[in-house]
Amino acid sequence: MTRTVAQKRADFRALHEQGCFVIPNPWDTGSARYLQGLGFKALATTSSGHAWSQGLADGAQSRDTVLAHLRDIVAATDLPVNADFENGFAADAQGVAHSVRLAIETGVAGLSIEDSTGDAADPLFPIDVAVERLSAARKAIDAAGGDTLLVGRAENFFAGRPDLDDTIARLKAYAAAGADCLYAPGIKTREQIAAVVAAVAPKPVNLLVGGVSELTMKDITDLGVRRVSVGGGLARAAWGGFIHAARTLAEQGRFDGFANAAAGSELNAFFRPFAE
């Protein structure tokens, strides 16, 4: 069944209203289709996963490349897609608004805007500047009909500024500026998660779990989180298998790294219907 963009956006908003769901992060058409086949209800792109697939470091892709990637992922699946749209690919609020309009045109159901500058020496925008940029994204979404979900991201813990008080202050400001969902990648403890959820309630919170965690989905749900993404976790898992197999072959002349490889027959059986 092919769902319209409006239907996918409505479905995506409904997912945030109650309970907790996993929104895994594919990096190409094949991984998107496979995740859909597993029964997930929505997907999110990963800037790092796609950048690595293009032979680039995270953050090194151009806006045009990312927009093309968004179109590919949206076309690959009937599920709603949330765009990892980095910091909006613009130096100022007006530029962010223009970038967001272009992202909306790809058919994504949601998009996130970070408050990171990309400058290691000064990694976060001042909060007033970050709010101005997020407000510009909000206005661009509203002008396009308002149905695309806006996620405000506080990058403190990813940017080497792990200050929970400042993180919460930023998230509350982004909520007031029109973010529909709030996200602080890098928070991990129960206390940090509970504090963020309480601070922005009743707006939903996205939690990143990109590696092995002692928390289960039940734990995360009980803490009040509404959605869980894995960032580049799945892409790194795939790269881990590839690197192990390739290094074993290159360094030892052995083929042991293929022990856990997926069967070609299984992959062909899964993907064959997409060509019909």
Q: Which residue has the tokens 């045009």?
A: 64
What pLDDT digit, counting tens, does each position of 109-134 carry? 999 999 999 999 999 999 999 999 99
Which two three-digit tokens encode residue 199? 């601070």
Cα end-to-end distance, the chain, whole Å: 14
pLDDT band at residue 276, thresholds of 50, 70 and 90?
Answer: confident
- Calpha distance 247→253 (Å, rounded): 9
Average pLDDT, whole number, for the chain?
A: 97
Phi, psi of 237 (to 5 degrees): -65, -45
Q: Which amino acid is at 220?
A: I
Please report, for the chain, the start and end positions of each structural domain, with discontinuous segments joined by +: 5-231, 233-276
Entry pTM = 0.97
- Percentage of residues of the chain with pLDDT beyond 70: 100
Which tens digit of pLDDT belongs to each residue from 130-162?
999 999 999 999 999 999 999 999 999 999 999
State yes or no: cis peptide before 202, omega within 30 of 0. yes
Q: What is the pLDDT of residue 2?
A: 84
Rounded-to-integer distance, Cα 52 and Cα 69, Å: 13
Q: Give pLDDT, residue 212.
A: 96
Q: Are 174 and 154 in contact (CB under 8 A)?
A: yes
Instruction: Reply yes or no on whether the pLDDT at 6 is more than 90.
Output: yes
Cβ atoms < 10 Å from Cβ of 153: 28
pLDDT, residue 1, reads 62
Torsions phi, psi for 144 (to 5 deg): -95, 5
Neighbours of 160 (CB within 10 A): 11
Q: Which of 156, 161, 219, 155 is nearest to 191 (CA)?
A: 219
DSSP state of 257: G
- For residues 225-253, give the mean pLDDT: 98
The string of pLDDT tens digits covering residues 264-275 is 999 999 999 998
Tokens of 196: 């963020």
Calculate mean pLDDT across residues 40-61: 98
Q: Give me 139's structure tokens.
A: 């206005």
pLDDT at residue 186 is higher than 80: yes
Smallest CA-to-CA distance from 115 within 170, 35, 182 is with 170
pLDDT band at residue 52 under the 50/70/90 scheme: very high
Residues 5-231, CATH architecture = Alpha-Beta Barrel (3.20)
